[in-house]
Amino acid sequence: MSKLWQKNNKVVDAVEQFTIGNDQAMDQYLAAYDVLGSLAHTTMLSEVGLLTKDELSQLKQALIEIYNKIQAGNFSLDAGVEDIHSQVEILLTEQLGDIGKKIHSARSRNDQVLVDIKLFLRAELIGLSTSVQDFFNLLQEKSEAHKNDLLPGYTHLQLAMPSSFGLWLGAYAESLVDDMTMLNAAYKVVNKNPLGSAAGYGSSFPINRTRTTELLGFDTLNYNVVYAQMGRGKAERVTAMAMANIADTLSRLSMDACLFMNQNFGFIGFPESLTTGSSIMPHKKNPDVFELIRSYCNRIKALPNEIMMMTTNLPSGYHRDLQLLKEHLFPAFAQLKNCISMASLMIQNMEVKKGLLEDPKYQFLFSVEEVNRLVNGGMPFRDAYKKVGLDIEAGNFTYSTHIEHTHEGSIGNLCTAQIQAQMKLVVDGMEVEKVNERIQELLNI
């Protein structure tokens, strides 16, 4: 099949296959968003006089039919078709004749793929934010439920001070607030319209880029057409970094869970249905779910560096290198959301061991409590520190397991409501409702 850009010379098959690569599979991710971009573009073309109202009506109806097929899972790229942009234009031309060929006016495949990627990333960031919020709420719920269940705290993997399951779980909840702040920042970078930048140098047609920005629900434009093209790679990298932050939180939580399940720790347990066994050791209950979450997430943490390296030293303008950015980034959204879902399943069913710190092996966790008790009685801190240290060395250390921490963010004052308020502020800043409204308006005939 000839390509839309092809003139008279046939490209060697090996070159064609190498340059197309895995783009057909990757473009399935972009299919629905390519149609949305075309709906906005053709609407604008009609408004500036480059399409008649009747042509727009026919194009819009045909585009929405394609969109519905995509949403129903009944759409794929034909063999020999290079990309999603070509497939949509071919389908429109088959159905509408020359009218179908008009949708490419004032556009390049460069700005088509750019707007497709921006719309795809925006939708995935919205979906990811919902998953993060659900997991955040679960962590906060479990944090409150176990706020009085004490847990050993460690530094350098050595016994340090008393902690609690409430404090441990609440820490990961607050970590997700910062992760969402970074996700929100990525969302703001992504939610800018590159459509109309054409091949990176604009168009002599009297297009209205502000109008397509409104139609697609973008916050604003990538104004400078050269920068709009330079933004490809940057949007992916910033998004990957936001994902990597969430992945890092999940990975560390998973490592904690693997340690805490270990019999030498014995802090938490899970139903047998959520663990796996051994082919030779009948006693085993392995934390395979957490181990796989840890590995998937560590792989996602490598994405920003991969994208950074693939775009290193690229000058301005479009380069085919950028095509490969899709291959690991696009599937990573589903992988990360699946990891969040599995972590939620595990934490929902986690069993916490009560009364851990009653065991004398944890007695030195309370050394700082004893130092503070002496200081409260009037002894200078350095003298109190030395006395407790000498008592430990002499085997004369005595302690109480009673804990009274009241300051903000401590065992006795988790500040759950304040952390929840921070999360709400970040989420509200994304203004997702406006995006959904614009897309629904665009799809109305």
The pLDDT, as a whole number, for residue 5 is 47
The pLDDT, as a whole number, for residue 305 is 96
Please compute the mean of the pLDDT values over residues 404-418 and round it to a whole number: 96
For residue 164, what are the β-bridge partners? 150
Query: What's the chain's length in residues?
Result: 445
pLDDT at 8 over 60: no
The pLDDT, as a whole number, for residue 112 is 93
For residue 351, what are the β-bridge partners? 269
The pLDDT, as a whole number, for residue 73 is 93
The closest of 42, 428, 29 to 216, measured between CA atoms, is 42
The pLDDT, as a whole number, for residue 250 is 98
Decide if 98 contacts 66 (C-beta within 8 A).
no
pLDDT at 4 over 60: no
pLDDT at 22 over 60: yes
The closest of 217, 225, 219 to 195, measured between CA atoms, is 225
Least confident piece of the model among 14-23, 95-104, 112-121: 14-23
Computed over every residue of the chain, the mean pLDDT equals: 93
Confidence band for 82, pLDDT divided at 50, 70 and 90: confident
The pLDDT, as a whole number, for residue 278 is 60
pLDDT at 279 over 70: no
pLDDT tens per residue, range 290-332: 999 999 999 999 999 999 999 998 898 888 888 889 999 999 9
**Predicted model pTM:** 0.92
Least confident piece of the model among 176-180, 241-245, 267-271: 267-271
Decide if 258 contacts 269 (C-beta within 8 A).
no
The pLDDT, as a whole number, for residue 434 is 92
Q: Residue 395 has which token pair?
A: 């085997």
Decide if 328 contacts 303 (C-beta within 8 A).
yes
Please compute the mean of the pLDDT values over residues 411-420 and round it to a whole number: 97
CA distance linking residue 229 with residue 318, whole number of Å: 7
CA distance linking residue 101 with residue 96, whole number of Å: 9
Please compute the mean of the pLDDT values over residues 12-39 and round it to a whole number: 85
The pLDDT, as a whole number, for residue 392 is 95
The pLDDT, as a whole number, for residue 122 is 97
For residue 154, what are the β-bridge partners? 159
Decide if 84 contacts 198 (C-beta within 8 A).
no
Confidence band for 400, pLDDT divided at 50, 70 and 90: very high
Confidence band for 27, pLDDT divided at 50, 70 and 90: confident
For residue 276, what are the β-bridge partners? 286
Domains of the chain: 13-104 (1.10.275.10), 109-358+415-442 (1.20.200.10)
